[in-house]
Amino acid sequence: MLFELNGQKQMLTIDTYKVEQFRDALAEASNITIMAHKHPDGDAVGSALGLALTIEHNKKCKVNIVLPNDAPDTFQFLPAYNRILSADRDKEACEAALMNADMIIGVDFNNAFRVEPLHQALTESKAIKALIDHHELPDEALFSILFSRPDFSSACELVYWVGKALWGDNCLTQDIARCLYTGINTDTGCFAYSNAQPSLYEAVAALMHYDIQPESIYNEINNNFSVDRMRFFGYCINNLLTINEALGYAYFTISLKDYEKFHLSDEDTEGLVNYTLKMKNIHVGALLKEQSDRIRISLRSKRDFDVNQFARTYFEGGGHIKAAGGTSYIGLTYTAHRLDQLLKEALA
């Protein structure tokens, strides 16, 4: 298929050789396990469930779906959500699903660090390992079949194109289309981010043939706050946001006590970091949140500042140019101070 990008005709291609490799591996496999990254977002959950359902739709088999953590309740509306095994609830069952599998397919992550505490089972399992992902620098030694495409908006979009290459229009049902649309919606900020290319809209056009009800999916994902969470966001914006308007950055610093005050958990900060970029003169935003043993960092950018590189260099993390994450072990106050210094230097 041809489309135009930066004035040049481009070909959207899914490597045929890899598709055939993947097809052969699927045909041979009798025990398949799909896994996505820890702290799963819409793309992780949507691509894992969508891929499981499309494989089951095209091959007589039952696929296991494992995640390092529970999937947020937000995604409860998705078909097959109840089939997800998580290491939070039953680590042994997740490890068994990985160790007993003859094929493991990773989605929406690029290396074993992103699936702790299941990284050991993933690396030690004798299964044939495939990856369908859109992050840079995949672990090429770990996965023998690799669909690694940072040029795609989301793992969900890539699952659609790989499924389409394998099974044509049979890659979709209404349930599969709803799963894939969910991850596309979250990873593109509902079609607002710069990671969308023409292939995305072609994929979405195909999904739309299955009566997926985009408005209801949008409401499930985005208009679902509890009253406490709404007030918590207000509190964070009023009290926990540092703004450096001259250099164009802002960040939230959220402690365990702050969640407790509102009877919330750290999951409830999902989406908060994006509020930093709502300010006209702010183009780099961050959110630091305290967890029991570490500080998690989310980074966002709306111009050309590469937060993937920044997270990789300073916070043992990574992600994409405009959305990345990382970790720090020096406490909340010191992490905030370090982040502030680093951003001052980088943006001065």
Residues that bind Mn ion (CB under 5 A): 43, 108, 154-155, 187
User: Rounded to an integer, what distance in angstroms lies between the CA atom of residue 135 and that of residue 52?
Assistant: 20
Q: Which residues pair with 45 in a beta bridge?
A: none
Residues 247-306 binding ligand 5GP (CB under 6 A) are 298
Q: State which of positions 94-133 bind ligand 5GP (CB under 6 A).
A: 114
- Around Cβ 198, how many Cβ atoms within 10 Å? 14
C-beta neighbour count of 308 within 10 angstroms: 23
298 binds, among ligand 5GP, Mn ion, none (CB under 5 to 8 A by kind): ligand 5GP
| Residue among 50 and 318 whose Cβ is closer to ligand 5GP | 318
Residue 6, sorted as left (phi over 0), alpha (psi -120 to 50) or beta, turns out to be left
Shortest Cβ distance from residue 283 to ligand 5GP (Å)?
16
CB of residue 14 vs Mn ion: minimum separation in angstroms?
17
Dihedral sign, Cα of residue 271, residue 176, residue 103, residue 70: positive
The answer to whether residue 325 forms part of the interface with ligand 5GP (CB under 6 A) is yes
> Which of these, 268, 290, 58, 288, lies nearest to 162 by C-alpha position?
58
Cα–Cα dist 126/144, whole Å: 12
Give the nearer residue to ligand 5GP in terms of CB position, either 19 or 237: 237
Backbone dihedral region of 109: left (phi > 0), alpha (psi from -120 to 50 degrees) or beta? beta
Q: Which of 319, 335, 336, 343 binds ligand 5GP (CB under 6 A)?
A: 319
* Residue 320 sits in the site that holds ligand 5GP (CB under 6 A): yes
Can residue 317 be called a binding residue for ligand 5GP (CB under 6 A)? yes
Tell me, by CB under 6 A, how many residues bind ligand 5GP: 13
Identify what 335 binds: ligand 5GP, Mn ion, none; CB under 5 to 8 Å per kind: none
In angstroms, what is the minimal distance from the CB of 41 to ligand 5GP? 6
CA angle 126–132–136, rounded 5-degree value: 105
| Shortest reach from residue 327's CB to ligand 5GP, in Å | 6
Quote the least distance from Cβ 107 to Mn ion, whole Å.
9
Task: For ligand 5GP, give the closer residue by CB, 74 or 298.
Answer: 298
Q: Minimum distance from CB of 163 to ligand 5GP (Å)?
A: 21
Interface segment toward ligand 5GP; rule CB under 6 A; list 117-125, 210-218, 224-232, 321-329: 321-329
Nearest to 179 by CA among 63, 94, 301: 63
164 forms beta bridges with: none
Residue closest to 78 by CA, chosen among 211, 191, 174, 190:
174
- Residue numbers at the binding site for ligand 5GP (CB under 6 A): 37, 41, 114, 298, 317-320, 323-327
